[in-house]
Amino acid sequence: MFRDFGSKAGSGGQQSASLANVDRRERQTQLALENIDLEKDPYIMKNHIGKYECKLCLTQHNTIGNYMAHTQGRRHKYNLHKRIAADQKDTPIKGIQKQEKMFKKTLKIGRPGYTVSKKINPETKQKSLIFVIQYPEIDKELQPRFRIMSSYEQKQEPPNPKYQYLLFAADPYETIAFKIPNKPIDRGEGKFITEWDKDTYSMTLKLHFQKEDQKQIPKIPPPSAKLPPPPSSLGTRKLALPGKVIPPPPINAPLRKQ
């Protein structure tokens, strides 16, 4: 007799092992829940794929246990400290709502790689910046987006009117921002170029700043000296009128002493 039971028992065994895992995880979860009142934690959020997010640090955690461990970590404590300090100025509810609106709830995989180079246009002597951002894991239907933001519009740093911010965004990457001088950007032909290379997954943005003298108010010409009226048609004719003859200046006239 074939012992079919054997294999069945085996697979049954595996099944119960994985069930035991689930059980264990649930127990861990239960334990975590018992120890800390998560309902009072304003930063935990279960997302659409059933994982846990820390709204404070914008991190994602596979299990509630991982989330709990995260709340004991340096990053969370640091952010919590910052938040408490900020809340003393702002109302806490307002602060959290603001942050929720600012960040789309997508799983972010980190910052993209990038290079920035400074150049001087050999022809126009304008200063230029070239940004190349690498997005190898970009969502295939997407194209990176960019935006220039004023120092007052951004909320990450205290505003400084000397700077403006150039932002690049492409899911699932984190949005990155470059702080650039707050100088007028030349939007003339060939001066502001963006290119998305689908084969190398690289986004290139090249910008030129207007030259210092470009932004100056054009010189107003001095009020024109009173020019003699254009000669009338008569003027072209030799008039037989006795005009005043101005004598030529005397040659070798002695220079007046000052």
The residues that touch Zn ion, with contacts defined as CB under 5 A, are 54, 56-57, 76
Q: 56 or 64: whose CB is closer to Zn ion?
A: 56
Q: 5 or 78: whose CB is closer to Zn ion?
A: 78
Q: 84 or 116: whose CB is closer to Zn ion?
A: 84
- Rounded to whole angstroms, the Cα distance separating 130 from 114 reads 10
- Rounded to whole angstroms, the Cα distance separating 76 from 56 reads 7
Q: 54 or 170: whose CB is closer to Zn ion?
A: 54
Please report how close the Cβ of residue 165 comes to Zn ion at its closest, in angstroms: 25
Please report how close the Cβ of residue 70 comes to Zn ion at its closest, in angstroms: 5
Closest CA to 119 of 206, 205, 214: 206
CB distance 48 to 80 below 8 Å: no
Sign of CA dihedral 21, 22, 28, 31: negative
Q: 76 or 208: whose CB is closer to Zn ion?
A: 76
* CB contact burial 173-183 (16+ within 10 A = b; e otherwise): bebebbebeee
What is the total residue count of the chain? 258
Please report how close the Cβ of residue 198 comes to Zn ion at its closest, in angstroms: 36
Q: Helix, strand, or coil here: 176?
A: strand
Please report how close the Cβ of residue 108 comes to Zn ion at its closest, in angstroms: 14
Please report how close the Cβ of residue 114 comes to Zn ion at its closest, in angstroms: 26
Q: Helix, strand, or coil here: 1?
A: coil
